[in-house]
C-alpha cells in the first residue's frame, strides 16, 4: 500500500513538472525540468508512451515572450532530432515530455519508394518539407472524411483505421516566431490533425475504428513463435 501511495505521488510530481499552469512563469517551469531528482529529463530523445500523463494533458501555449527563446528553440531542435531519428512524419512536443503547443511535420519524398504505388496514391501522399508550428490553430477547409490506417509513435506497435478530414488550414508561428499559414490536403492534412490532437491530450485510439485495431507485428508473432519485441528505442 505504501509503495502504491509512493508511486502515485511520483506520478503526481511528474504531472506537475511537465505541465505549465497559467500562473507559473515559463522560465521557472522550464528550469524545474532540469532541477528535479529524475535522472532522465525532458525534452527526451525518445517518444513518451500511452499511459504517460503528459500525453493526456492540454498543452499550454508558448508564452509570446518565449517564442524566440533559447529554451523553445532547443525544444524544437530536439523534436526535429527525434522525428528524424525514428524516421516518422510528425511529432508534437508532449511526445518528448514537453506540454507545450508545438508540432513538427515532415513527409520525405523517399517514403514513396517504401510503399506500393497504389497505397501512396490512395492515401494521397505528397512531399511536405520540414514544417514547424508554434501555438498552431487548425481549421477544416474540406469536411469530406477519409478512412485510412494510422499509427502513433506513442502507441508503439499498433495501428488502426481513423477518419480524418480531407483538407485543413494551419495558422500559427513558424520556427522563427513569424506568423504563418499553411493549407494541407490528403495525407499531410491527416498528419496535421493527428499532431494537433496530441496538443489537446487526444490520441488516435480515442476515435479509431476499434474493429481495425491491430498489433502491427501480429503475423511475425506467429512465424517467430512469439519471440518478438516492440522496440521503444532506436
Ligand atoms: Co502520434
Q: Locate cell 526535429: which residue?
A: 80
Confidence at residue 39, expressed as pLDDT on a 0 to 100 scale: 80
Over its length of 234 residues, how does the chain's per-residue pLDDT go in tens digits?
A: 443 433 333 434 443 445 565 656 787 777 776 665 668 999 999 999 999 999 999 999 999 999 999 999 999 999 999 999 999 999 999 999 999 999 999 999 999 999 999 999 999 999 999 999 999 999 999 999 999 999 999 999 999 999 999 999 999 999 999 999 999 999 999 999 999 999 999 999 999 999 999 999 999 999 999 999 999 998
DSSP state of 209: -
Are 136 and 194 a contacting pair, CB within 8 Å? no
DSSP state of 100: B
Look at the chain and count its residues. Answer: 234
- Measure 96 CA to ligand 1 centroid, in angstroms: 11
Q: Which residues neighbour 152 within 8 Å (Cβ) at sequence distance 6 or greater?
A: 194, 203, 204, 205
Written as nine digits, the cell of 57 is 494533458
- Measure 90 CA to ligand 1 centroid, in angstroms: 7
Cα–Cα distance measured from residue 48 to residue 25, given in angstroms and rounded to the nearest whole number: 24
- Measure 92 CA to ligand 1 centroid, in angstroms: 7
The dihedral of CA 198, 199, 202, 207: what is its sign?
negative
Q: Locate cell 499509427: which residue?
A: 151
Written as nine digits, the cell of 25 is 512563469
Confidence at residue 210, expressed as pLDDT on a 0 to 100 scale: 98
Q: Locate cell 515572450: which residue?
A: 65
For the annotated catalytic residues, the residue numbers are: 195
- Measure 7 CA to ligand 1 centroid, in angstroms: 26
Domains and CATH numbers, the chain: 4-35 (no CATH), 53-223 (3.90.45.10)
Amino acid at each position: 500500500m505504501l509503495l502504491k501511495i509512493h508511486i502515485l505521488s511520483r506520478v503526481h510530481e511528474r504531472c506537475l513538472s511537465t505541465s505549465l499552469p497559467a500562473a507559473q512563469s515559463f522560465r521557472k517551469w522550464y528550469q524545474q525540468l532540469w532541477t528535479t531528482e529524475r535522472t532522465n529529463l525532458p525534452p527526451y530523445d525518445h517518444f513518451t508512451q500511452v499511459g504517460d500523463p503528459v500525453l493526456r494533458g492540454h498543452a499550454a501555449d508558448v508564452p509570446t515572450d518565449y517564442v524566440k527563446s533559447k529554451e523553445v528553440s532547443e525544444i524544437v531542435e530536439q523534436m526535429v532530432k527525434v522525428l528524424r531519428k525514428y524516421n516518422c512524419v510528425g511529432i508534437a512536443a508532449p511526445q518528448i515530455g514537453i506540454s507545450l503547443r508545438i508540432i513538427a511535420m515532415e513527409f520525405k519524398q523517399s517514403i514513396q519508394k517504401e510503399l506500393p504505388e497504389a497505397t501512396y496514391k490512395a492515401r494521397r501522399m505528397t512531399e511536405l518539407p520540414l514544417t514547424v508550428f508554434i501555438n498552431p490553430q487548425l481549421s477544416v477547409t474540406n469536411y469530406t472524411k477519409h478512412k485510412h490506417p494510422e499509427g502513433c509513435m506513442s502507441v508503439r506497435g499498433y495501428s488502426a483505421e481513423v477518419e480524418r478530414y480531407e483538407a485543413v488550414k494551419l495558422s500559427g508561428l513558424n520556427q522563427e516566431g513569424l506568423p504563418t499559414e499553411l493549407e494541407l490536403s490528403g495525407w499531410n492534412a491527416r498528419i496535421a490533425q493527428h499532431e494537433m490532437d496530441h496538443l489537446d491530450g487526444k490520441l488516435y485510439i480515442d476515435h479509431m475504428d476499434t474493429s481495425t485495431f491491430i498489433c502491427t507485428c501480429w503475423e511475425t508473432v506467429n512465424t517467430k513463435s512469439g519471440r518478438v519485441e516492440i522496440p521503444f528505442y532506436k
